[in-house]
Amino acid sequence: MHISKLSIVNYRNFGNTKVLFNKGINTIIGENGSGKTNLFRAIRLLLDDNMKRSASRLEQNDFYRGLQDWRGHWIIISLEFEEVSQEESIQSLFLHSAGDITNETIERAAYNLIFRPKADIRVAMSKLEDGDADGLTAIRQRITIADYETIFTGRSDADFNDEAVYKDIVGDFDLVRFSDEIEFPSIGAKVPGMFSISQEISFTFIQALRDVVAEFQNNRANPLLTLLKSKSGQIDPAVFEPISVMVRELNNSIEQLGDVQILRTDISDTIKDAAGETYSPSSLSIKSELSDEADKLFHSLKLFVGEAEDGHEGAIHELSLGGANLIYLTLKLLEFKYQKAKQSFANFLLIEEPEAHIHTHIQKTLFDKLNYEDTQIIYSTHSTHISEVSNVLNINILGKNASRCEAYQPATGLAPAQVGNIQRYLDAVRSNLLFAKSVMLVEGDAEELLIPILVKKVLGISLDEMGISLINIRSTGFQNVAILFNDARIRKRCAILTDLDAAIIDTNPATGDSEDVKKKKLKVKNSHDVGVRRKTALETFGQNNNWLHLCFAPHTFEVDFVAAGNSEKVVDVLGDVYSSAGTVATAKAELESGDIALFGTRVLTMAQQEGKGWFAILLGKMIDHKTVIPSYILDAIFFVYPTVSTEVWFNILSYRVKCIEQAEQFGPEVIAAFRVKLKSFREGATDFITIRNDMLTTFAADKLIPILNRF
């Protein structure tokens, strides 16, 4: 049996989220703050026997914040299980509570935590006339968290992720439409109080490690003690008895030590001297209380580990942090093995961010090998090292969309061959693409190197800050990866930047063309034709997909870079490319000619000669705030980064002002006056249009103006 689906509705940062799981190892990846911990907590509320009972009593701030008013809404955490078997006795208690018996044999089970208003509130809402908004407000106003109850139900068949289902059951708060019923068979039957599902299964949660040494020193959390405790219960009393006898003798010997006896007498005498006979204790002794019981005696057992070659074994606090964490994780895994050995039919292991302190290469091998039979492992990570070893079929990506967390399944609906392509791609280039807020796909090294520099130098902020991942596909096979960005899969924005390779010279054969010219013309024409076909293919591919945006460089990245008005930057690197002054002069003239056939051919020749990557590095050094970003690149950036906040505008404009200030084209009083305006924009006193117009009038020549005019 394994968990096949987790649905979370209105819980913490999840408005309505579906997470799918498969047998075996599953990965949940996501940036920090994307809800990984809350997602695990949701699972633990249902399955972790170590979770305090009171935890299931949810609180006001457990409600999803995106609800304007939580009052009246329900929190639903629902787990679905597959591959259950009614033939196995050990599953029967579980299935009696959670099994779906609609079919002849049980194929699925469901187990839910529902936090909902108590019956009296639900009755009141059920009696509302449709559209009675005032009535609803009156009811909601008197709801407090004390009017809520937690119930656990099993065998539900409602799809809680379907908003229509939620409205049918809980109600439509906008239209004020509530069911006349207050109980709904589709949410399942209450799990009888005499059962606890968490006791039927084996479940271990390994928390992201914060302070592993402290963990070892804490008696309750120390995994070694937990393991020893489970062993101490099994110790044969006959075997342990001689030890108990020795402990008692030891206690006795210590008490009889001369020094101890003297100390006792001294204490006694001092009290009598100080307090007098009447007020002194009537007797006093010093006792050695080393326990002779196995479980207590085991507390004195400590783990010593040798890390270095010299054979020295140190206590946990002497170990390197990585070493200590490895030991911790190992003991927790052993704990799980012990638990699994008990009679239980389903084993779940939840590991939170194993990368927290473990060395990269250990992470990789650890999770390559972590594979227990009949066990479902779910781990959360923000490590690309781990995600690249996980199967893309078993990945859920958590993403933040404003304050709402969503989960994406990147392989939904893909054919095995397509999955294979993505998997190979992820393995090869690391999977940071899965962590990105949004993605720009480019075809070569030049774009990969130069676009980040362009953005940083022109806007003053980095792609990282904007949450944009720039991914180099190293070919024009964009579809293999872009297929991920889709309503059904990853709902994040993705821009494809590619060259259209339009001809920059007249490719019509002319009389008198030399063989070389003929060849060149044919080659350019072929590229041109291929470019046209690629465009058509990509456009077909991206049709009706709002997550995808195609941005075509009319010709080639380098050519369009110059065409955008950056010939001077290329001129600046001529000295690095050509040694002969004559060639430099010719090249300079061509680059500044304004004729695309000339500057285009020149810049391509230079790139070819240096290698596109190296040429981009050379060029990168020359880029400054006066460089112009080609407009198709701006298209891409502002597609994947559609909303620019006031704060970001403020940063961009401040950066530009600083650049202008350094260029000393304007007097300090102009700069200062503008900074005042900027401040008032930041504080919300003026709006974007105003500050944009101010910028236009004050610094009309600034290269940012065309960008600002886009907004």
Binding site for another protein (CB under 8 A): 54, 57, 86, 88-93, 95-97, 99, 101-102, 104-106, 118-120, 149-150, 154-155, 181-186, 188-194, 200, 343
For tokens 């689906």, name the residue: 5
For residue 10, how many C-alpha atoms fall within 13 Å in the half-sphere facing its CB? 24
Please compute Rg for the chain using Cα positions.
35
Q: Minimum CB separation from another protein for residue 480, in Å?
A: 46
Amino acid occupying residue 376? Q
Q: Minimum CB separation from another protein for residue 149, in Å?
A: 5
Q: Are strands 108-117 and 148-154 parallel, antiparallel or unpaired?
A: antiparallel
Q: Is 253 exposed, middle or buried (0-12, 13-18, 19+ CB in 10 A)?
A: exposed
Smaller CB distance to another protein: residue 155 or 625? 155
Smaller CB distance to another protein: residue 151 or 429? 151
46-67: burial string, b at 16+ Cβ within 10 Å, e else: bbbbebeeeeeebeeebbbeee
Coil, helix or strand at residue 188: coil
Q: Minimum CB separation from another protein for residue 490, in Å?
A: 36
User: Which tokens belong to 343?
Assistant: 């009679």
Q: Minimum CB separation from another protein for residue 482, in Å?
A: 45
Smaller CB distance to another protein: residue 138 or 284? 138
Strands (E), 43-90: 75-82
Q: Minimum CB separation from another protein for residue 134, in Å?
A: 23
243: left (phi over 0), alpha (psi -120 to 50) or beta: alpha
User: Which tokens belong to 438?
Assistant: 């949004």
Q: Minimum CB separation from another protein for residue 116, in Å?
A: 11
Smaller CB distance to another protein: residue 92 or 391? 92
Smaller CB distance to another protein: residue 123 or 585? 123
User: Which tokens belong to 151?
Assistant: 């119930």
Q: Minimum CB separation from another protein for residue 291, in Å?
A: 28
For tokens 């997909």, name the residue: 545
Q: Minimum CB separation from another protein for residue 74, in Å?
A: 15
Q: Minimum CB separation from another protein for residue 97, in Å?
A: 7
Q: Are 29 and 382 in contact (CB under 8 A)?
A: yes
Q: Minimum CB separation from another protein for residue 53, in Å?
A: 10
Q: Is 501 exposed, middle or buried (0-12, 13-18, 19+ CB in 10 A)?
A: buried
Q: Minimum CB separation from another protein for residue 101, in Å?
A: 4
Smaller CB distance to another protein: residue 184 or 638? 184
Closest CA to 556 of 590, 518, 597, 604: 604
Q: Minimum CB separation from another protein for residue 88, in Å?
A: 8
Smaller CB distance to another protein: residue 344 or 380? 344
Smaller CB distance to another protein: residue 68 or 103? 103
Smaller CB distance to another protein: residue 100 or 590? 100
Smaller CB distance to another protein: residue 103 or 579? 103
Q: Is 667 exposed, middle or buried (0-12, 13-18, 19+ CB in 10 A)?
A: exposed
Cα separation of 115 and 67, whole Å?
15
Backbone angles phi, psi at 5, to 5 degrees: -150, 140
Contacts of 46 by beta carbon, 8 Å cutoff, 6+ apart: 77, 79, 111, 112, 113, 152, 197, 198
Q: Where are the alpha helices (DSSP H) in 377-514?
A: 384-389, 416-429, 432-435, 445-459, 479-482
Smaller CB distance to another protein: residue 92 or 651? 92
Q: Where are the alpha helices (DSSP H) in 58-189?
A: 89-98, 119-126, 133-141, 163-169
Cα separation of 294 and 206, whole Å?
27
Smaller CB distance to another protein: residue 70 or 94? 94
Q: Minimum CB separation from another protein for residue 138, in Å?
A: 17
Smaller CB distance to another protein: residue 68 or 343? 343
Q: Minimum CB separation from another protein for residue 194, in Å?
A: 8
Cα separation of 442 and 472, whole Å?
5
Coil, helix or strand at residue 104: coil
Cα separation of 174 and 478, whole Å?
43
Cα separation of 587 and 251, whole Å?
95
CA distances from 640 to 190, 405, 535, 637 (A): 46, 18, 20, 5
User: Which tokens belong to 155?
Assistant: 């065998």
Smaller CB distance to another protein: residue 230 or 280? 230
For residue 600, how many C-alpha atoms fall within 13 Å in the half-sphere facing its CB? 18
